[in-house]
Structure 1
Amino acid sequence: MQSEMGKLVEDNRKLQQRNKELEMIFDSSYDEIFVTDGQGITIQVNSACERNYGIDAKDLIGKTVEELETMGVFDQSVTKKVMDTKQQVTMFQKTSQERFLLVTANPVLSEDGSLQKIICNSKDLTEVKKLKKKLEEMEQLVEKYHEEIDELKSARFSGYVFVSKQMQHVMDLVSKVAKTDVTVMITGESGVGKTALAKQLHNHSTRQNQPFLTVNCGSLPENLIESELFGYVEGAFTGASKGGKKGLFESADGGTIFLDEISELPLHLQVKLLRVLQEKEITRIGSIKDVPVDVRVIVATNKSLEAMVEERQFREDLYYRLNVVPIDIPPLRERKDDILPLIKHYIELVENKYDKNVSLSTDAVQHLMNYKWPGNIRELENMMERIIVTASGSEVDVRELPGNITASKQQVVHYDTIDSLKNFLEKQERELFQDLYKDHPSSYKIAELLNISQSSAIRKIQKHISQK
């Protein structure tokens, strides 16, 4: 009898120990375990409930899930749905503590099919949801970076070499208006690159695969310019070609027409140009038939059209139609930061053209930098070709420079001793990247500022900054 009692006591001790272990396991589960009876009254919860609901476990016991739902502890009760269906239900649940739970509720049925208990297991997906949101934000950011990179790639201005802030502002404006059909007026001194800029506007527009036609209004005789621009029909005048001829506006249909030296356009033709801009149609000489044209118009001038309007040499209404987006290209003397890169660019072109390898001495570089360049980029390009072609050796000294450059008043510019243009430019490039990186420690931003690819910017940063 005593041995049986002892065995019962031992079995009871083991059972209590086992219950403690199960309670410990139950309570230590990171996932929430929420148990109700068949009526939805809370009978047991683990500590995870406190984290999810901000309520002590003991305060949950005895409350119905409907009460807890009314209190706003959670937004919807999974238990209630199981009470209605007596089947497993899985759904999302949001708690008063801003936790986002994935809840699976399982019914426990008696032999007669009545509902005895409902056991809910809830996984806290709050951090997962936050990570998912961050991932989505990162994906959007990456997509934005890719778009910016693609835009930078597509916005490379071939043949336009610059580092100055003045030209960066110009190119920023070009990037904005290139993909539109807005009329652009390019102003600037002779030789600054107005034609090249007009080509950039066309090449980066939606019309890039269509014609780009250039007309110099100052180079065509007045009696020919009308027929060149607007065309004519057969028999329109003596010498008219059989079958007539398309004008440049018709030939440029779907593309871009660039009217250089627009200030030289005769007044009577200014009226016809105004009609093209307003009505999108032309009439050939000798015809009464209107011909629709879809052409983007870009004009350029090195004169003040405002002054010409005041002097009644240019139509005011046409001026306002043309001057929708004005882009002024500053002269080279006002953007000296661009002189060195341009020298390097054109020397490389000339060297490749004539298969030569010539460098400039430090004194020669200083003279070229301080020269006023009245003919701007056109003069610099021609000068580099002249210097390289006529060079007597592998290095051009100041004595070999043209007289107009050596005779110009030179400012004293102090540089470290440099034995070649290559070393000089290397030093300038290093200083440029170091200064930019201080203000913009991002390869994306530097690539954007310098109009280079992001991969090039990374290489330059590694070369001049990372290994400094």
Structure 2
Amino acid sequence: MGAKELNSDFEKLKMGLDCFHGNIVIADNDGRIIFLNEYARNLYNLTNEEAHTMKIHDLVDRGIIDRSVCVEAFETKETAIGCLKTATGVDLDSVGFPVLNEKGDLLVAAAYSYDGQFMKVLMEQIENEKKKNRHIKRTLKYLQGANNKYKSFIIADEKMKNLYHDVKKIARAESNILIYGESGTGKDVMANYIHQNSNRQNEVFIPINCGAIPSELMEAEFFGYEKGAFTGANKEGKAGIFEMVDKGTLFLDEIGELPLSLQAKLLRVLESGEVKRIGSSKPIFIDVKIIAATNKNLKSMVEKKLFREDLYYRLNVIPIMIPPLRQRPKDLIELAKYFVDEFNKKYECELVLNSDLISRFKSYRWPGNIRELKNEIERMVISSQTNSIFISGLNTIETEQEEKTREKAERIDYLPGINYKGELKDAVRVFEKNFIKAALAECDGKVAMAANRLGIHRSVLYKKIEQYKSEE
């Protein structure tokens, strides 16, 4: 169209169709060519004026092409597909469509053709993309299997047996699931169990810790990017996590750590099922099951405007609460035995748990839950010099009663030697005397150093030392 002003939508449409990388031929119900785009005119060596004086049959009759699917669609009123060759020897893959009115009468016939070589290259590129995606999924599945810590898990407590029984029934639902539980309770194990019992069990399962990815990299990791999207980007672009997990299950652990900006983007994915790579406006449609997990109170975070309310309700369709280890005594003991066996094999030991240690385990609160239990047993196995793990080896384990006793002692002993039955002035004198003694001992009896340590002049310290000596 050049610089000519576009005066109508039809002219704008024709300009857009002229940019199409392929042939477009449209004929009316008399077979007269009403549109032949620029790509086709150049290939057929026709001017725009010549094209509009021809009928679609003329293209074959004049030997410009050896066959026409547009003619076939025109005559049969059915879709026609075929390969044709131009007078210049170019092979074209073509499809023709009839456009009919409600009575079945032909209105127009249209044909779209692509250079066969172009289609070959395009199909090779598509196949390469499919191969890359299949390779990614196979690699993820391999890694998932090679490092599968979910193959076996211990369930001895009745409440946990009931929980897993209920979860197995709901696992096939496509609804989003939100798992609650303290750190170390096994939320990742539960998520994998849901995936293995879902309709997607043969597809990939990708666990992502939202708290482990730097916020500035999150969008690129989740959504991917086109080549040249930003400085330092892979020159070939990169598929995001959502694309890689298509048809599978995505486990978003520590969902409460997701930045608000990314929460909005995740919400759009959940609502529309589409993602866009950074640097692209082309939507990619995905089918992903979301399982999220948190050790935080998301409801409270919503009230504090730290978590989007609409996303919370999108994720919290099926909530699952995993109780802490201290509320599962049977699981605690069975897990302890399991970890002892595991580390016996790893470190070539033959250690066993004794009854005193088991009692002590039951009295401990286990704030780190299963993760803490596993780490503690590994430490004990490594440091043990006997065939049995004794209480003396529990340097970091402290029962609730012992914890309270220690805290009480710390509150009392921070002022040693004070008689609380006396008057305040006597208590102050006793405290000062003991404090000076401690400072002198720390400084090996050097008065000048002790005075500096106490923040007083040494003459004052000498005076106090003499005073307290006279009182002894």
The answer as to 2:337 corresponding to 1:329 is no
Per the TM alignment, residue 280 of structure 1 is displaced from its structure 2 partner at its CA by: 1.1
Deviation at 1:406, TM superposition (A): 6.3
Which residue of 1 is the match for residue 376 of structure 2?
A: 383
What SS does the corresponding residue of 1:207 show, helix, strand or coil?
Answer: coil
Does 2:214 match 1:221? Answer: yes
In 2: Cα distance, 1:408 partner to 1:355 partner: 35
| Equivalent position of 2:7 in the other structure | none
The correspondence for 2:199, drawn from 182, 198, 206, is: 206
Choose which of 268, 282, 297 in structure 2 pairs with 1:289: 282
Question: Is contact 1:270-1:315 (8 Å) kept?
Answer: yes
Q: Which SS does the other structure have where 1:372 is aligned? A: coil
User: What is the letter of the counterpart of residue 177 of structure 2?
Assistant: V
Name the SS of the counterpart of 1:405 in structure 2: coil
Q: Which has the higher contact order (CA 8 A, sep 6+)?
A: 1
- Offset at 1:364? 1.5
Query: 2: CA distance between counterparts of 1:289 and 1:363?
Result: 64
Match of 1:347 in 2: 340
Report the alpha carbon displacement of residue 166 of structure 1 after superposing the two structures with TM. Answer: 2.0
SS at match of 1:195: helix
The runs of 5 or more residues in structure 2 that have no matched partner are: 1-149, 405-472
Compare 399-408 and 347-356 and name the one that shifted more: 399-408
Corresponding residue number in structure 2 for 1:262: 255
Residue 246 of structure 1 aligns with an amino acid whose one-letter code is A
Mapped to 2, the partners of 1:196 and 1:408 lie a distance apart of 32
Equivalent residue for 2:227, pick from 227, 231, 234: 234
- Amino acid across the alignment from 1:249: F
Q: Deviations 1:207-266 (Å, cap 9, x if unpaired)?
A: 122111111111111110000001111121111111210000100111111111111111
Mapped to 1, the partners of 2:348 and 2:198 lie a distance apart of: 35
**In the aligned structure 2, how far is the partner of 1:328 from the partner of 1:375?**
17
Partner Cα separation in structure 1 for residue 369 and residue 185 of structure 2: 5
Given that 1:370 and 1:410 are in contact with CA atoms closer than 8 Å, whether structure 2 keeps it comes out as: no
Q: Deviation at 1:407?
A: 8.2
Q: Are 1:166 and 2:167 counterparts? A: no
What is the CA–CA distance in structure 1 between the aligned matches of 2:299 and 2:353, rounded to whole Å? 43
Distance 1:399 1:408, change over 3 A: farther
Percent identity between the two aligned chains: 46
CA–CA distance in structure 2, aligned partners of residues 369 and 158 of structure 1 = 26
- Asked whether the equivalents of residues 186 and 194 of structure 1 are also in contact (C-alpha less than 8 Å), the reply is yes
Alpha-carbon separation, structure 1, partners of 2:292 and 2:399: 36
Question: Counterparts of 1:450-461 in structure 2 under 5 Å?
Answer: none
C-alpha displacement of 1:370: 1.4
Q: Which whole-Å CA distance do the structure 2 matches of 1:290 and 1:322 have between them? A: 23
Give secondary structure in 1 for the equivalent of 2:239: coil
2:270 matched to 1:277?
yes
Is the counterpart of residue 404 in structure 1 residue 397 in structure 2? Answer: yes
1:371 and 1:408 in contact (8 A); partners too: no
Partner of 1:63: none
Partner-residue secondary structure (3-state), 2:212: coil
Structure-2 separation of matches of 1:405 and 1:338? 20
**1:282·1:290 contact (CA, 8 Å) conserved in 2?**
yes
Q: What TM-score do you get using the length of structure 2 for normalisation?
A: 0.52
Cα offset for 1:319?
A: 0.5
Q: Which residue of 1 aligns with 2:182?
A: 189
Q: Secondary structure at the match of 1:208?
A: coil
Q: Which residue of structure 2 lines up, in the alignment, with residue 106 of structure 1?
A: none
The residue identity in structure 2 corresponding to 1:389 is I
Structure 2 counterpart of 1:263, one-letter code: G
Residues 1:310 and 2:303 aligned together: yes
Alignment CA distance shift 1:265-1:407 (3 Å)? closer
Amino acid at match of 2:378: E
Query: Which residue of structure 2 lines up, in the alignment, with residue 252 of structure 1?
Result: 245
Shift of 1:409: 3.1
Which AA in structure 2 matches 1:309? V
Match of 2:385? Answer: 392
- For each residue in 1:299-356, what CA deviation from the matched residue of structure 2 results, as whole angstroms up to 9, or x when unmatched? 0111111011111111111100000100111111112221111111111111122221
SS in structure 2 at match of 1:220: coil
What one-letter code is carried by the residue in structure 2 that aligns with 1:377? I
1:365 aligned residue = 358
Residue-by-residue CA offset, 1:396-446 (whole Å, 9 max, x unaligned): 2111222433686399xxxxxxxxxxxxxxxxxxxxxxxxxxxxxxxxxxx
The one-letter code matched in structure 2 to 1:310 is E
Q: Residues 195 and 205 of structure 2 are in contact (CA less than 8 Å); yes or no, is this contact kept in structure 1?
A: yes
Equivalences for residues 70-81 of structure 1 within 5 A: none
1:67-146 matches, within 5 Å, as none
Check whether the contact 2:363–2:399 (CA below 8 A) recurs between aligned residues.
no
The code of the aligned residue for 2:225 comes to Y
The CA distance in 2 between the partners of 1:270 and 1:326, in whole Å, is: 19
Q: How many residues align?
A: 255
The 8 Å contact of residues 326 and 362 in structure 2, kept in 1 or not, is answered as no
- AA of the residue aligned to 1:394: N
The answer to whether 1:299 aligns with 2:292 is yes
TM-score normalised to structure 1 length: 0.52
Which amino acid counterpart does residue 339 of structure 2 have in structure 1? Y
Structure 2 residue matching 1:259: 3-state secondary structure:
strand
Q: How big is the shift at 1:361? A: 2.1
Code of the residue aligned with 2:304 in structure 1: it is E
Counterpart Cα distance in 1 of 2:260 and 2:354 = 52
- 1:422 aligns with none
2: CA distance between counterparts of 1:177 and 1:296? 13
CA contact (8 A) 2:365 2:399 kept: no
Q: Give the Cα–Cα distance (whole angstroms) in 2 for the partners of residues 408 and 387 of structure 1.
A: 22
